[in-house]
Amino acid sequence: MSEKGLKLKGVRRSFLQGKDRLDVLDGADLAVKPGEIVALVGPSGAGKSTLLHIAGLLERPDEGEVWLGGEACGKLSDAKRTTLRRSHLGFVYQYHHLLPEFSAVENVILPQMIAGTAKSAAKDRALDLLARMGLAARAEHRPGQLSGGEQQRVAICRALANAPKVLLADEPTGNLDPHTSESVFDELLKLVRSTGVAALIATHNPELAGRMDRVVRLADGKLVGA
């Protein structure tokens, strides 16, 4: 695969419910190019989170393949998949999951240091990302001193701290009021476009989905519009 973004081919995933088998993903295909922002939509229970978990190497598909940055991941060891997640992937969830005892800038520094970046360079990048999200004056505040929108902005900076090739987001503004959601999403789009990351963002909000480059719908285990 020549693309350096995200690609899924023939991905299948099923679960047992009692004696019944539930086919959540039934041959899902998707490609997200670097610099492209794709909305993932579908009803609750359709399998959007399962798809994101497989794309993020948190689960293995029953069948099919996932490529990240041009590398096939299906046969990789768990250790190698963990390394790829750290270097190639950024995650944003509905709830920010920031470490409460650390400041905003420290929350963005930590994943970089875990990946081996020197603290001074990690701090410079963290401060730059926070400034681009309008949080320069809040960098030393702990999560408990930040509003919900500010906390989610920090979480977005943290997800992009290690310059991932792919950003996966699961309802990233779903916990926020409509006005704050709009504002945070604006900042997310700007930052994603400026970094050139391939982004797949699950949302229930049709207005937010319509502002992305492309919309794919998960229905009956397949991706429509992919």
pLDDT tens, the chain, 226 aa long? 446 789 999 998 888 777 887 778 888 899 999 889 999 998 777 788 889 999 999 989 889 999 988 888 888 888 988 888 888 899 988 777 899 999 999 999 999 998 888 999 999 999 999 998 889 999 999 999 999 889 988 999 999 999 899 999 988 877 778 888 888 888 888 888 888 889 999 988 888 889 899 999 988 888 877 5
Name residue 26's beta-bridge partners: 12
SS3 of residue 63 by DSSP: strand
**Looking at residue 173, what is its pLDDT?**
78
Kind plus residue range of the DSSP H or E element containing 31 = strand 20-32
**Looking at residue 6, what is its pLDDT?**
92
**Looking at residue 2, what is its pLDDT?**
41
Burial class (CB in 10 A: 0-12, 13-18, 19+), 137: exposed
Provide the residue ranges of all domains of the chain, joining segments of one domain with +: 6-224
SS3 of residue 105 by DSSP: helix
User: What gap in Å lies between CA 173 and CA 211, rounded to an integer?
Assistant: 14
Q: At what angle do helices 178-195 and 148-159 cross, to 10 degrees?
A: 20
**Looking at residue 1, what is its pLDDT?**
40
Name residue 223's beta-bridge partners: 218
**Fold entry, domain 6-224:** Rossmann fold (3.40.50)
Question: Of 225, 191, 196, 222, which is closest to residue 209 (Cα–Cα)?
Answer: 225
